[in-house]
Amino acid sequence: MLRSRHELHPIKKVVGDLALFGGTPAFEEGLHVGRPNIGNRQKFLERIGDILDRKWLTNGGVYVNEFERLIAEAAGVEHCVAMCNATIALEIAIRALEMTGEVIVPSFTFIATAHALQWQGITPVFCDIDPCTHTLDPDRVEQMITPRTMGIIGVHLWGNPCNIDALSEIATRRGLKLLFDSAHAFGCSYRGRMIGGFGAAEVFSFHATKFLNSLEGGAVVTNDGELAYRMRLMLNFGFTNYDCVDSIGTNGKMNEVSAAMGLTNLESLGEFTSVNRRNYKQYEQELVGLEGVTLLAYNEAEECNYQYVVLEIDERKTIVARDQLIEILHSENVLARRYFYPGCHRVEPYRSLYPDAHLFLPQTERVAAQVMTLPTGQTITPDIIRVVCDIIRNAVANAGEIRKFLEERSAG
């Protein structure tokens, strides 16, 4: 159990209260971003016992079948093809859609989105984002289309849906395939419809850090039965029958234990959402009006999983820089993360392959320099959030002194 020392250090008011300046760290143990949501332990263990009794651990097991049925139902789609993780699911979906040439993707995403293309010899063309939602800007997408463009991969980053209507219109008009990386967006909706049924297909991640986790796992969901069939062959080496292989495939299968974890957690989705929402609302309340600190907004009129608490730090107003704030939080054992920094285009192999990409990505560059994520989920209590926000307010209030201290220290 994480114990805050809030009682011992009621308010981190003066700069000397901060751990960086010799104060006692606010938390004894690290508060991680990405702590898994875990449902009913007993139900999970019962399912594991049943799997062991059945002696059917993977490849067409009853738990994976049931998981696929329930995910398809929750996403409002006809087909769910469960896989070992979302990276393989993206690779298989891209291949099954016969994408080649160039595919337009945001650079402000997890590296797996870009790798899934490059791994198959497809050029990821990095496109800029809408600074409000952090998702693909449809106007910029239009400008990135060339005769070699085969498709678009939109990413519903943080669970915020892309402008799906605009992307669908562009894809239809320009004859492009549209796939969504919905790794963050299970349980979210767009215009009242659950994420999952848009584009040719959508890809969910069920990694440990995701809203719904199956330890590791992923799935492609689609209403296209032919596509689902092709992906089922691909994830099982291309086997059409016991000793018949018709085409090239890989091993993308989800195992029964992962499905059991996924099924167990599915039963607690309501609890996960309400805890995440409670935490999000408290962060919002505690940080409102703090100059230069903006909490990423979710559309409250839609279903939303609130899995990420994302801040943008405008250094011109806070004076303390985003990375300095992260250093302060880390010294207090609050392990805030600057996710998706510095953008896919700034890491290898893309930095070397596409050295001019940054010229087309001004919003990506700005957002990547300002974003940080804070801990949320089941282990984070209202008391913890009060202390975390206390630290942030203290850092902003004493920004000048902190900045001077850190700059003098790095100057040696």
Smaller CB distance to ligand T4K: residue 87 or 255?
A: 87
Least Å distance between CB 340 and ligand T4K? 8
Segment contacting ligand T4K (CB under 6 A): 4-12, 26-34, 46-54, 356-364?
Answer: 26-34
Exposed/middle/buried for residue 247 (C-beta within 10 Å: 0-12, 13-18, 19+) = exposed
Alpha helices in 60-157 (DSSP H): 62-75, 86-96, 111-118, 138-144
Q: How far is CA 197 from CA 124, 216, 227, 229, 347, in A?
A: 24, 23, 13, 17, 32
- At 99 the three-state DSSP class reads coil
Q: Which is nearer to ligand T4K, 41 or 409 (CB)?
A: 41
Residue 87 near ligand T4K by CB under 6 A: yes
Residues 187-206 that bind ligand T4K (CB under 6 A): 205
Contact call for residues 346 and 378 (beta carbons, < 8 A): no
The reply on whether position 160 binds ligand T4K by CB under 6 A is no
Footprint (CB under 6 A) of ligand T4K, residues 106-135: 109-110, 112-113
Q: What angle do CA 61, 202, 63 make, to 5 degrees?
A: 15
User: Nearest approach, Cβ of 359 to ligand T4K (angstroms)?
Assistant: 24
Contact call for residue 208 and ligand T4K (CB under 6 A): yes
- Closest-approach residue to ligand T4K (CB): 34
Stretches 6-14, 84-92, 134-142, 401-409: which one binds ligand T4K (CB under 6 A)? 84-92
Non-local (6+) Cβ contacts of 2 within 8 A are 27, 28, 29, 31, 379, 384
The minimum distance between CB 307 and ligand T4K, in angstroms, equals 10
Stretch that binds ligand T4K, among 2-10, 79-87, 162-170, 237-245 (CB under 6 A): 79-87
Q: Does 376 bind ligand T4K (CB under 6 A)?
A: no
The tally of CA atoms less than 13 A away on the side-chain side of residue 309 is 29
Kindly determine how many residues on this chain lie close enough to bind ligand T4K according to the rule CB under 6 A: 22
Considering only residues 4, 85, 258, 376, which one is a binding residue for ligand T4K as defined by CB under 6 A? 85
Q: How far is the CB of 407 from ligand T4K (least distance, A)?
A: 28
Nearest approach, Cβ of 376 to ligand T4K (angstroms)?
A: 12
Cβ closest to ligand T4K, residue 38 vs residue 406: 38
C-alpha span between 134 and 323 (Å, rounded) = 20
Q: Is 36 in the site for ligand T4K (CB under 6 A)?
A: yes
Q: What residues contact 68, with CB distance under 8 A and at least 6 apart?
A: 80, 81, 82, 219
Handedness of CA 50, 55, 57, 62 (dihedral sign): negative
Q: Among residues 26, 51, 86, 380, which is the contact residue for ligand T4K, using CB under 6 A?
A: 86
Strand residue runs (E) in 78-214: 79-83, 102-106, 123-127, 149-155, 177-181, 189-190, 193-194, 201-205
> How far apart, in whole angstroms, are the C-alpha atoms of residue 224 and residue 232?
13
Per-residue 3-state assignment (H helix, E strand, C coil) for 218-283: EEEEECCHHHHHHHHHHCECCEEECCEECCCCCECCCEHHHHHHHHHHHCCHHHHHHHHHHHHHHH
Nearer to ligand T4K, 194 or 399 (CB): 194
Q: Nearest distance from residue 203's CB to ligand T4K, in Å?
A: 7
Q: Report the site for ligand T4K in 218-237 (rule: CB under 6 A).
A: 218
Q: Nearer Cβ to ligand T4K, position 259 or 402? A: 259
Is residue 34 within the footprint of ligand T4K (CB under 6 A)?
Answer: yes
- The verdict on 258 binding ligand T4K (CB under 6 A) reads no
What is the binding site for ligand T4K (CB under 6 A)? 32-36, 85-87, 109-110, 112-113, 155, 181, 183-184, 205, 207-209, 218, 339
